[in-house]
Amino acid sequence: MEALSPLEKKLLIELQKNDGKIKPEKIDMELVKVMNAAAWLQSKGLVKTSENIIKEYEITEEGEKFLKEGLPEKRILKDVEKIEIETLEKKFGKKDVSISIGWALRKGWCRIEKNEKNYLIITEKGKEEIKKKQPEEEALEKIAKKDFNIDEKIIKVLKRREAIKEKEKVERIIYLTDKGWEIVKKGIKIEEEISQLTPEIIRSGKWKKVKFRKYDIKAFAPSIYPGKLHPLTQLIEKIRRIFSEMGFKEIRGSYVESCFWNMDALFIPQDHPARDMQDTFYCKKPDKIDIDDELIEKIARVHENGGMTGSIGWRYKFNKEEAKKALLRTHTTVNTIRYLANNPVPPAKVFSIERVFRRENIDSTHLPEFHQIEGIVYEKDANFCMLKGILKEFYTRMGFKKIRFRPSYFPYTEPSLEIEVEWQGKWIELGGAGIFRPEVTIPFGIKEPVLAWGLGLERMAMILLGLNDIRMLYFSDLKWLRELPLLI
Ligand code: PHE
């Protein structure tokens, strides 16, 4: 009871006065306020509301004319025994006469005689009826007084004659429930209550005297779903923030890349399975991207015999045309090698969070388009321990507690590692990392160690959002999106 607002109390009192049942419009309060109070009382189980669609009618211009002048079939037959139709038409107009004769004939008030000319002859019934008030007229008078208790047949006729228009209205009724009765029977008194403490109340000292309304902390509150960023976008924002806070700068690349930058520059041999049409999307337009001849030559030598890197290379014949092929980048390591090629002077700490493409069949754990969180640290004395430290720090900041590293292999790093996090008792691989090999760094004049990593975003998102289907991230399921709490 103490948790009821004055409006709720007022509504309860009105309900009690009206035997527990009332139409909201009948209450001397603004309708929105009544409905609002009713909704709150309903959530507390004290009232119930019902809604009925009821039909109401409105008199049209034509209907008003009927009301004022009487039905037209009455008018044209007035003082008539037998009359030439043409004469009537001259007096009342052709259209009105034809409509009126139609209704008069249907009602048996007249008949038509056809000689050289057409005559209208009134019947005995017609003579009687035109003196009386007709059911249509009575109905219109009732409608004018907002009394809609009218025979369905007459309504039909009036609608057909376009004398009335139908309108639908919702009729609401508020009822007291048994619990509501219990409360009102105890007696409700309305006193001035304060529901919000303001600086004025404190300053004036009024707070000592006033009565505060108690909060009902169990009261129902409607859920609201304001616009918010998509969970993946939120995660990207969070990751951006983490790397920025760790002193990294963000870089960007392009979807379309050459084999040269995506693979050759990273010392991925040209017969590597990842280059297969099965795994990589090659582009038709453009199908080739020009690369500086000297640069290709240098990388060709690295692949063939190690060139100036001290390596013996892959020992095969490098195909320069192959290097120019255009493709959709398969990893964002292409962003970092390009950055290093343009900025060979250390130190550098950069990252990118961008989309990559692989020819994967879509299923609950695979998507052909996904994001990678890529990064490098390029500085004197950078080492493998630092790499592990950075990755551990990143995943810890993302909220993972159990993280482990496993030895791994990539053609462009040595040593290499794989990072796994524990989820539901299982170790899940989230990405790879390592230190760029001399075959990658030396041709670009990179002189200090480069720690590099490429981590999957969607897999991590699945874990953080508790999804067992990766596709959910792209389904746009509104209910899921609405109810998902904010991540940042
Ligand atoms: N490019 C690798 C991948 O796509 C990840 C990686 C990046 C590994 C950088 C080592 C160094 O899985």
Q: Which helix (H) or strand (E) holds 50?
A: strand 47-59
| Any domain includes 218 | no
- pLDDT tens column, 328-356: 999 999 999 999 999 999 999 999 999 99
Q: Please give the model's pTM, rounded to 2 decimal places.
A: 0.64
- Residue 1: its pLDDT value, please? 65
* Residue 323 sits in the same domain as residue 334: no
Residues of the chain above pLDDT 70, percent: 99
| Whether pLDDT at 276 is above 90 | no
CATH number for the domain that contains residue 138: 1.10.10.10
* Residue 324 sits in the same domain as residue 334: no
| Any domain includes 1 | no
Residues of the chain above pLDDT 90, percent: 81
* Residue 32 sits in the same domain as residue 105: no
Number of domains in the chain: 4
Contact 2, 212 (CB under 8 A): no
State both tokens at 442. 């030396």
Tokens 């004036």 -> residue: 204
Task: List residues near ligand 1 (CB under 6 A).
Answer: 331, 333, 410, 413, 432-434, 452-454
- Quick one: average pLDDT of 273-278? 83
* Residue 111 sits in the same domain as residue 31: no
- pLDDT tens column, 181-190: 999 999 888 7
State both tokens at 385. 């321990």
* Residue 93 sits in the same domain as residue 208: no
Mean predicted lDDT score pLDDT of the chain: 93
* Residue 99 sits in the same domain as residue 237: no
* Residue 480 sits in the same domain as residue 386: yes
| Any domain includes 217 | no
Rounded CA-CA distance 385/243 in Å is 18
Q: Which atom of ligand 1 is nearest to the CA of 356?
A: 4
Give the single-character DSSP code of 49. Answer: E
- pLDDT tens column, 97-129: 999 999 999 999 999 998 888 999 999 999 999
For atom 9 of ligand 1, the residue with the nearest CA is: 453
* Residue 288 sits in the same domain as residue 156: no
Distances (CA, A) of 214 to 2, 4, 18, 190, 403: 6, 8, 28, 14, 49
Q: Are strands 193-194 and 256-258 parallel, antiparallel or unpaired?
A: unpaired
- Quick one: average pLDDT of 61-66? 94
Rounded CA-CA distance 459/445 in Å is 35
- pLDDT tens column, 439-448: 999 999 999 9
Task: Using alpha carbons, select from 205, 169, 211 the residue that is nearest to residue 190.
Answer: 211
For the four alpha carbons of 355, 278, 323 and 440, in that order, the dihedral sign comes to: positive
- Residue 424: its pLDDT value, please? 85
| Any domain includes 397 | yes
**For residue 286, is the peptide bond before it cis, meaning its omega torsion is within 30 degrees of 0?**
yes
User: Among residues 212, 246, 273, which one ends one of the domains?
Assistant: 212
CATH number for the domain that contains residue 445: 3.30.930.10
Lowest mean pLDDT among 38-42, 316-320, 404-408: 38-42
* Residue 115 sits in the same domain as residue 196: no
To test ligand 1's pocket by mutation, which of 335, 410, 420 has the most ligand atoms within 8 angstroms of CB?
410
- pLDDT tens column, 411-450: 999 999 999 999 888 999 999 999 999 999 999 999 999 9
State in Å: Cα 276 to ligand 1 middle.
18
- Residue 314: its pLDDT value, please? 97
Q: Which atom of ligand 1 is nearest to the CA of 433?
A: 10
- pLDDT tens column, 20-59: 999 999 999 888 899 999 999 998 899 999 988 888 999 9
* Residue 150 sits in the same domain as residue 75: yes
State in Å: Cα 338 to ligand 1 middle.
15
Domain ranges, residue 274 = 256-328
Q: Which atom of ligand 1 is nearest to the CA of 455?
A: 5
Residues 309/315/321/323 CA torsion (nearest 10 deg): -50
* Residue 305 sits in the same domain as residue 405: no
Contact 122, 77 (CB under 8 A): yes
Could you give the angle at the alpha carbon of 414 between the alpha carbons of 412 and 415, nearest 5°?
Answer: 140
State in Å: Cα 329 to ligand 1 middle.
12
* Residue 355 sits in the same domain as residue 403: yes
- pLDDT tens column, 128-139: 999 999 999 999
User: Among residues 272, 303, 328, which one ends one of the domains?
Assistant: 328
Contact 5, 38 (CB under 8 A): no
| Any domain includes 109 | yes
3-state SS assignment for residue 154: helix
| Any domain includes 192 | yes
- pLDDT tens column, 166-217: 998 888 999 999 999 999 999 888 777 888 889 999 999 999 988 888 877 8
Give long-range contacts, CB 8 A cutoff, 24+ apart: 118-121: 118/84, 118/85, 118/86, 119/82, 119/83, 119/84, 119/85, 120/76, 120/77, 120/80, 120/82, 120/83, 120/84, 120/85, 120/88, 121/81, 121/82
State in Å: Cα 381 to ligand 1 middle.
21
For atom 10 of ligand 1, the residue with the nearest CA is: 433
At 144, the pLDDT band (50, 70, 90 cuts) reads very high
Residues sharing a CB contact under 8 Å with residue 472, sequence separation 6 or more, in sequence order: 465, 480
| Any domain includes 43 | yes
State in Å: Cα 234 to ligand 1 middle.
23
- pLDDT tens column, 461-479: 999 999 999 999 999 999 9
Rounded CA-CA distance 482/197 in Å is 33
